[in-house]
Structure 1
Amino acid sequence: MKAAPGSTLWLLGHELRLAWYNSAVSGGKRRPGILSIIVWIVGWSVMHGVAFALLDALGRNPVDPALLGILAGAVLLVLSTFMLSNALKACTLALFERGDLDLLLSSPLPSRSIFSVRLLGVAASSAALFLFLFTPFAHVALFLGRPGWLAIYPTVAALALVIACAAMLLTLALVRVFGARRTRVLAQVLAAVAGALLFLLSQSFNFIFRGDDRALAQSAQNMIENGILAPDSPLWLPGRAALGEAVPLLVLVALAATACLLTIARTHRFFVKGLQQAAGIGHAAPRAAGGVRFRFRRSLFDTIVVKEWRLIARDPHLISQVLLQLVYLVPLLFLILRDSSVSGPAIAAGLTLLCSSLTGALAWIVISAEDAPDLLLSSPAAMRTIRLAKLAAATMLPLLVAALPLLWMIVHGALAGLMIAFTVTGAVLSAGLVVQWVGRPALRSNFKARGKENFLCSMLELAVTLSWGGLAWTMVSLLGAAADWMVAAAAAALALALLTLALAWLFRRRPA
């Protein structure tokens, strides 16, 4: 039975269809391909197999129900950070990028229904992936005689609704305080930080306890005994609800329903005001007093480099996408500066991999996503200078970011620091060259899907990144305990990096 046109259920169905078309299954197509659906069905079947293996082992080796509730709660607590990241992105999309709310609000539909459906759509999009991952456990548990685990369905849905309400309230609060223009940037930055929140928290514990496992264990024991991590703590309520405990499940569902109703009742009018503010964020800035001033630099190279940096700085969406990689550099920087003896293999490989990945993203923006390639080709400037300037614009920023930790490591351990500087520089230059040689022209709006559009470039970039990361690990490891296999591994990693560069040069795009 179809919902009546114009009803809330009809609008919700439309919202869910749009979410389906924009999902990873359909890849943004009107109808998902058969191959995509088959791949996801196979993946879901594999998840059922993994769930069966784990639950079968759990049946043969019973675990205390209190401990099992804590483990389930910890998993859901971890997932809530990723849910929050997805919800913030969905709220930004709903308010600033969809561009359909003007039409909806000018229709006879009440604004409360529109806001309600948009909020439920954010919750559904946040919960979809996690339902895909964890509902196999509910199905297998039912087969093994544990029907209480079917509560995974309402638990994940209720948790997603609570987080969607929090994300929408946070987005609208940012609009009230900072305005729509700044909120678009801030919400995307917060989404990137929320996605890395678990990693940042784990590194903060390492930074506080300085690797003292005994102090960390004692602190955890105190928190368990004093209540914050106790088995009956509200922190583990979602985990106990997912395992089928009636009272925690009812509390969580009631909390989600209350949060949803209060969010809709208290904020749907400001939602309309926020939309009206967002409608004007694309207006052109007033002309500067005194007329336009043209300032030309002496060097074409400098002009192109500054132009590329300026274009990136003016695109908040790209900044938020690239920022996530910089977020992971922050705890790594603290680990390096905390102690002069931490120039170990993990630090070397981590810094090399992150700088290479950041370079690949920037090179795609600067080189592949050039907005006016025909204009550059028809210009009187030398293409060699243009290509070199674009490569410099993509590689200089990661090298500048890595300069402080590299300088610190060189001062406190010259040989190890120089080795890491060599691998970081090699990884950055290699990633930039791969994109310049093999990258294809693309639109900046396709930043998230850049890996799907050019499979060869993605694979070569991945190979060169892992090669330099492996070389950094083995080279620094050789300083502690030299072994023949480490020397062979370092030589193999360097050879693979150079071979990948050679392949990228052989498959490079020739000018038409």
Structure 2
Amino acid sequence: MMLDSLFVPGSILWLARHQIRLSWRLGRLGKKIPSWIKPVFTILFVGLLSFSMGYGVAKIFEAAAGDYKQLSSLAGAVILTLMISGISMNLMGSFMTITEKGDLDLLLSSPIPPHRFVAARLISSAWRGFCIYAGFATIFFGASIVMISPMFASIYVVVAGFAILDAAITYMIARQALLWFGLRNGRRATIALGAIGVMIGLVGYQMVSSTGSLGRLAADTEHPNASLIQVHDVIVSLTSNFSWLGGTILGDWLGALAFLVAGGVVSALVLNFAGKRYDQDVAFLNGQNDHAPHKIRKAHPQQFRRPALVMVFHKEWLSMTRDPLFVSQLIVPLFTMVPFLGFVWNAVSNPNEQSEMAPIMGAMFAAITVFNVTMLTSSLAWLTASVEEARDLLQASPLDPKIILQGKVLAASGPAILELVLVAALVAWAWPLAALTLLIMGMATCAGACVIEFSRPRPTKRPKMTQRPDRSLVTVLFGLGLGILWACAAGLAAAKILWWLLPAALAITISYIAWATRPRDLSSIPVSQPLVAVSVGSPGGPWQRVDQT
């Protein structure tokens, strides 16, 4: 009865529950997965990471013996840079939330006060952020809470406050981008701003963290870099003022509660400002679309005289570039390469003194690059493999289905191959063996990722693919395992360890199993013989199958 009184139809909590349920349904990886698999898998995965990664953090706190003042400054700087990255990464999600059209006419004529819709979306966004951040908090601090002291549970209060603050800030930024630039350009603006923010947060973390590569390079006294040291000192001086923030995750419950209250106050101010203008925002959004204005172009007959594979590749490439998430999928994997650029430069500048570390650094760089390439190819291959095609049109096409598949595979793996070539050319100056290894292993993992994604496509209309990502859980797990195995193989091969053959063989086996056990009749591309044009009036009409001609 009490829940019924809280979730009255039309109330803020009722709308928020509907929004959360909608997000949960849209975020499912598959339609036929038992409901108990996802939470069990999540608990086991988080538990494994908590033991492997949180154990080291617990040992650091144990060595401090209760004196956390020295750690609070570093912890505050690290948390600040991670918060910058988190807000930047959630910008795109907030823009998609604020631009959910639904039935705009119904929203405009609804008797529900407009501010309730804004409050519901803020609550659902904060809940989504809390679940994500709490998962990371459990991974890194779960072992410390159990082994050292329960006082470290204050990090969950900080996580709740940051989730509320994150939802409010990203909502306002997304709203202003929509009003200033419109729907299409506003989406691009949030993607660009988010990419810049993630870059700033990543570089800042690498500077202030004791394990960060840029921080270690700045502390190198044998080969000092004046520019790097200057940037490092500026970032450290700015972040050193946030030691109070580090104390909130190290047991300062009063500071953690103050941070939670501050997040609630900011969210209330955003709700008061944006809630009164929600009806105006909906009216502004009505009638807009993501597509560019139609331009009349002069037809060029020679375009249709190109090879069939080139035409299919061009068509798929244009379709992918129109996807609003394409830029982020292409750029974000490159961010993890930035911290290693300093080591590459150091290895090139001082080849003799860096000879001992060359195999280790080259192996790490090769492994990370191959894993990123796998994830990039998997996401793009999913877009090309699962898009719903017009079966009748394809079946009537004179193109061989193999040509269509080849064009899709080439379009999906093209960006990853380009990234491999550029990274290999850069790394070749410092670690030639690592460059050759990541190029070969990267090509292999691109092929394997395409095999896995095309083995279990889920045909969906392209505009709904980002709104309802109905991706197979089996495909996701196969792709993750493939990336880890090829990354291990690349790292071992770059370090001249013969054991690289074992993970490489396992990776090839995974790709083979995924293709051999693929369900039939899932692809939107007909596998039967195509139809070809013959002379009008011939037996069977103007179109016949290849085997009939």
TM bucket by the smaller chain?
Answer: 0.7 to 0.9
In the alignment, the residues of structure 2 paired with residue 405 and residue 423 of structure 1 have an alpha-carbon distance, to the nearest angstrom, of 13
Higher relative contact order (CA 8 A, sep 6+): 2
Return closer, same or farther for 1:400/1:164 CA change in 2, 3 Å cut-off.
same
Task: Give the counterpart of 2:451 among 433, 457, 464.
Answer: 433
In the alignment, the residues of structure 1 paired with residue 386 and residue 260 of structure 2 have an alpha-carbon distance, to the nearest angstrom, of 47
In the alignment, the residues of structure 2 paired with residue 56 and residue 393 of structure 1 have an alpha-carbon distance, to the nearest angstrom, of 47
Answer whether contact 1:91 1:167 (CA < 8 A) is retained.
yes
- TM-score (ref. length: structure 2): 0.72
Answer whether contact 1:180 1:277 (CA < 8 A) is retained.
no
User: Where in structure 2 are the equivalents of 1:49-64 lying within 5 Å?
Assistant: 62-64=65-67
User: Where in structure 2 are the equivalents of 1:272-291 lying within 5 Å?
Assistant: 272-282=279-289, 287-289=294-296
In the alignment, the residues of structure 1 paired with residue 382 and residue 158 of structure 2 have an alpha-carbon distance, to the nearest angstrom, of 40
Answer whether contact 2:183 2:289 (CA < 8 A) is retained.
no
Answer whether contact 1:112 1:264 (CA < 8 A) is retained.
yes
Task: Give the counterpart of 1:496 among 506, 511, 518.
Answer: 506
Could you tell me which residue of structure 2 aligns to residue 305 of structure 1?
Answer: 313
Answer whether contact 2:115 2:278 (CA < 8 A) is retained.
no
User: Where in structure 2 are the equivalents of 1:362-441 lying within 5 Å?
Assistant: 362-410=380-428, 416-436=434-454, 438-441=455-458
Could you tell me which residue of structure 2 aligns to residue 252 of structure 1?
Answer: 259
Q: Is 1:160 aligned with 2:163?
A: yes
Letter in 1 for 2:117: I
Return closer, same or farther for 1:111/1:336 CA change in 2, 3 Å cut-off.
same
Task: Give the counterpart of 2:377 among 336, 352, 359.
Answer: 359
Answer whether contact 2:28 2:469 (CA < 8 A) is retained.
no
Could you tell me which residue of structure 2 aligns to residue 27 of structure 1?
Answer: 28
Q: Deviations over 1:449-475 (max 9, x none)?
A: 8795151x4444444433432332223
Q: Is 1:130 aligned with 2:130?
A: no
Deviation at 1:329, TM superposition (A): 4.2
In the alignment, the residues of structure 1 paired with residue 489 and residue 341 of structure 2 have an alpha-carbon distance, to the nearest angstrom, of 20
Q: Deviations over 1:333-375 (max 9, x none)?
A: 6754675356711222222222232222222222233533553
> After alignment, is 109-118 or 247-256 more displaced?
247-256
User: Where in structure 2 are the equivalents of 1:128-277 lying within 5 Å?
Assistant: 128-131=131-134, 134=137, 151-152=154-155, 154-191=157-194, 194=197, 198-203=201-206, 206-207=213-214, 210=217, 212-214=219-221, 228=238, 233=241, 235-242=242-249, 245=252, 248-249=255-256, 251-269=258-276, 271-277=278-284
SS at structure 2 position matched to 1:63: coil
Could you tell me which residue of structure 2 aligns to residue 80 of structure 1?
Answer: 83
Could you tell me which residue of structure 1 aligns to residue 332 of structure 2?
Answer: 324
Return closer, same or farther for 1:17/1:56 CA change in 2, 3 Å cut-off.
farther
Q: Deviations over 1:115-168 (max 9, x none)?
A: 333333322322233346658999999999978666555433322222222212
Letter in 2 for 1:465: G
Deviation at 1:398, TM superposition (A): 1.6
SS at structure 1 position matched to 2:336: helix
Return closer, same or farther for 1:193/1:328 CA change in 2, 3 Å cut-off.
farther
Q: Deviations over 1:381-408 (max 9, x none)?
A: 1122222222222222221222223234
Could you tell me which residue of structure 2 aligns to residue 453 of structure 1?
Answer: 472
Answer whether contact 2:492 2:500 (CA < 8 A) is retained.
yes
Answer whether contact 2:92 2:187 (CA < 8 A) is retained.
no
Return closer, same or farther for 1:19/1:70 CA change in 2, 3 Å cut-off.
farther
Return closer, same or farther for 1:11/1:305 CA change in 2, 3 Å cut-off.
same
Return closer, same or farther for 1:416/1:240 CA change in 2, 3 Å cut-off.
closer
Letter in 2 for 1:310: L
Deviation at 1:66, TM superposition (A): 2.1
Q: Which runs of 5+ in 1 are unaligned?
A: 479-485
Answer whether contact 2:478 2:514 (CA < 8 A) is retained.
yes
| C-alpha RMSD over aligned residues | 4.7
Answer whether contact 1:470 1:490 (CA < 8 A) is retained.
yes
Return closer, same or farther for 1:118/1:491 CA change in 2, 3 Å cut-off.
closer
In the alignment, the residues of structure 2 paired with residue 145 and residue 463 of structure 1 have an alpha-carbon distance, to the nearest angstrom, of 34
- Alignment: residue pair count: 496
Answer whether contact 1:104 1:114 (CA < 8 A) is retained.
no
Deviation at 1:322, TM superposition (A): 4.5
Return closer, same or farther for 1:497/1:146 CA change in 2, 3 Å cut-off.
closer
In the alignment, the residues of structure 1 paired with residue 140 and residue 213 of structure 2 have an alpha-carbon distance, to the nearest angstrom, of 32
Answer whether contact 2:46 2:138 (CA < 8 A) is retained.
no
In the alignment, the residues of structure 2 paired with residue 198 and residue 446 of structure 1 have an alpha-carbon distance, to the nearest angstrom, of 29
Letter in 2 for 1:441: R
In the alignment, the residues of structure 2 paired with residue 398 and residue 145 of structure 1 have an alpha-carbon distance, to the nearest angstrom, of 44
SS at structure 2 position matched to 1:376: helix
In the alignment, the residues of structure 2 paired with residue 460 and residue 37 of structure 1 have an alpha-carbon distance, to the nearest angstrom, of 19
Deviation at 1:55, TM superposition (A): 7.5
Answer whether contact 2:344 2:430 (CA < 8 A) is retained.
no
Answer whether contact 1:451 1:458 (CA < 8 A) is retained.
no
In the alignment, the residues of structure 1 paired with residue 57 and residue 290 of structure 2 have an alpha-carbon distance, to the nearest angstrom, of 56
Deviation at 1:300, TM superposition (A): 1.1
Identity across matched positions, percent = 22
Task: Give the counterpart of 1:468 among 475, 478, 486.
Answer: 486
| Structure in which a larger fraction of residues adopt helix | 1
SS at structure 2 position matched to 1:369: coil
Task: Give the counterpart of 2:112 among 109, 113, 131.
Answer: 109
Answer whether contact 1:180 1:274 (CA < 8 A) is retained.
no
Return closer, same or farther for 1:464/1:123 CA change in 2, 3 Å cut-off.
closer
Deviation at 1:89, TM superposition (A): 3.8
Q: Is 1:442 aligned with 2:444?
A: no
> After alignment, is 274-283 or 245-254 more displaced?
245-254
Return closer, same or farther for 1:125/1:367 CA change in 2, 3 Å cut-off.
closer
Return closer, same or farther for 1:212/1:267 CA change in 2, 3 Å cut-off.
same
Letter in 2 for 1:431: A
Return closer, same or farther for 1:421/1:6 CA change in 2, 3 Å cut-off.
closer
